Amino acid sequence: MPLINENRLDEYIRSIRGAYEKLLGSLVEIPTVSADPACSQAIRKAALLTVRILKRFGVQAEILKTSGHPVVIGALGTNKKNPTILVYNHLDVQPADRSEWDQDPFRLTIKAGRYGGRGATDDKGPALTALFAAKYAMGKGVPLNFRFVWEFEEEIGSPNFEKAVRSIKAFLHAQSILVSDTVWLSGNNPAIPYGLRGLLTAGLELETGDRDIHSGLAGGAARNPIGELCELITRCYDPHTGRVKIPGFYDDVLSTGREERQRFSESGFRTSDFKKAHGFKKIRFDEAAKIMDAIWSKPTFEVHGIAGGYTGKGIKTVVPQKAEAKISMRLVPGQNPRKILSQFRAFVKLHNPDISVRGEAYLDPYFAAPGGEHLQAAVDAVYFGFRKRAVLVREGGSIGAVVSLNKLLHAPVVLLGLSLPEHGYHAPNEYFEWRQVRGGIRTFVRYFEQVCRIR
């Protein structure tokens, strides 16, 4: 017999809208940019605020210190007879250039059910959605315990997360891990991923002089570090097809099988939706099957920025003394980021030994064969929450904490995200929507109700 009355649940959701918006505003206004050392104090402030928020919901919460940014942990319910769900989210955000935004990125704007601001959809909005759902479920007698883990280093690869949570492994013991940090295929196509790509990030640097020099006085004899970095990059991969040319790069890739390819083809993925959501004018190929394969099951090599020389208005005719390129590789099941970095270093040394390689973040890929009661409960919960059928696919992004929690706790992970492609993950003018909050609370409460019956 259902523990949750649907009409009363909807009444609850309507009643908490103002409180939700106020809390989201308080979180968005703190610039929790984990990649920026200047934001360390802001992140500390956000961690303290997070503890206060959790305590207001009846959660026993505290800050877990790491050698980097903190982790906030909490417990709601301690009945050992009840199963436990661990709810993971992250509260750090990507950098935001004010000149690229239509608003102050660190001030929540509310317009027609849209919540604008950095972190609104990735991942502060979904985190609060899960919290409101857990409070309601507990208040209605759903026999569960909850553990909360809210991280502040996800956007830089979670370098200190695993070591930190390993020390409290017993506290975090759970039968299910819920993560609401993934993206639907479109507004009409909810998606539950069962695989995530891993990540390797690195910096390339070449210094050829003590200072920038006049190109008329020394040009032709002087080496140009920007040009040499560009030449090396095109040796690493084909920018037209995306094919990586580093020897051994694809050796360990686990290929997709016929059943999985069929699942992709039946997912409802549409090229037109994909292009519109991400603002693409042109992409490498238009066939839906190739796009899905490229973003879900193939590794990548990407260039995120090249710095060096003069970048102001007009042209300053200098040959730069040094240049730097920011690189990442999304990796798929079977690939090891440390092995790939070793191959990358050897390739760079072979072609230009003067270029230094600085390895930064390492995240392993995640993959779990789709199936099991928890995943089916999630599919049913999405239909209850949104009246839409969720598809099971992979996702191209990376969440280091998922790999760590799965490894430490040996519990099924359910990636039950609420964000849409057009919400602007990592992009200017990021936003979240009340309709996703409403459907999300319904979804999570239904999932909690079903999980308590799984033994």
Which of 344, 363, 382 is a domain's end point?
363
Q: Are residue 101 and residue 121 in the same domain, yes or no?
A: yes
CATH for 177: 3.40.630.10
Sign of the torsion formed by the C-alpha atoms of 273, 279, 281 and 287:
negative
**Residue 307: in which H helix or E strand, if any?**
strand 302-308
In a domain, 280, yes or no: no
Q: Are residue 382 and residue 445 in the same domain, yes or no?
A: yes
Task: For residue 375, name the pLDDT band (cuts at 50, 70, 90).
Answer: very high
Residue of 453, 454, 450, 448 whose CA lies nearest to 86: 448
CATH for 209: 3.30.70.360
Buried/exposed code over 425-440 (b: 16+ C-beta within 10 A; e: otherwise): bebebbbbbbebbbbb
Q: Are residue 63 and residue 89 in the same domain, yes or no?
A: yes
Whole-angstrom distance, CA of residue 337 vs CA of residue 341: 6
Stretch 192-208: mean pLDDT: 96
Q: Is 294 exposed, middle or buried (0-12, 13-18, 19+ CB in 10 A)?
A: middle
In a domain, 221, yes or no: yes
Six token digits for residue 81 = 């007879």
Q: pTM of the full predicted structure?
A: 0.91
- According to DSSP, the residues that pair with 374 across neighbouring strands are none
Query: For all residues of the chain together, what is the average pLDDT?
Result: 95
Q: Are residue 88 and residue 128 in the same domain, yes or no?
A: yes
pLDDT at residue 453 in the model: 85
Q: Determine the structural domain holding residue 400 and report its residue range.
A: 6-196+366-451
Q: Decide if 178 contacts 416 (C-beta within 8 A).
A: yes
Task: For residue 365, name the pLDDT band (cuts at 50, 70, 90).
Answer: very high
In a domain, 444, yes or no: yes
Per-residue pLDDT tens over the stretch 285-340: 999 999 999 999 999 999 999 999 988 999 999 999 999 999 999 999 999 999 99
Share of the chain above pLDDT 70, in %: 99
Q: What are phi and psi of 190, to 5 degrees?
A: -60, 145
Which of 307, 342, 363 is a domain's end point?
363
Q: Are residue 159 and residue 173 in the same domain, yes or no?
A: yes
Total domain count, the chain? 2
Q: Are residue 141 and residue 27 in the same domain, yes or no?
A: yes
Has residue 203 got a pLDDT over 80? Answer: yes
Q: Are residue 308 and residue 440 in the same domain, yes or no?
A: no
- According to DSSP, the residues that pair with 63 across neighbouring strands are 72
In a domain, 262, yes or no: no
pLDDT at residue 237 in the model: 98
Q: Are residue 341 and residue 417 in the same domain, yes or no?
A: no
Q: Are residue 96 and residue 127 in the same domain, yes or no?
A: yes
In a domain, 141, yes or no: yes
Has residue 3 got a pLDDT over 90? Answer: no
Q: Are residue 103 and residue 146 in the same domain, yes or no?
A: yes
Whole-angstrom distance, CA of residue 243 vs CA of residue 247: 12
Q: Are residue 167 and residue 23 in the same domain, yes or no?
A: yes
The torsion angle over the Cα atoms of residues 129, 134, 137 and 143, rounded to 10 degrees, is 150
Q: Are residue 166 and residue 20 in the same domain, yes or no?
A: yes
Which of 313, 345, 363 is a domain's end point?
363
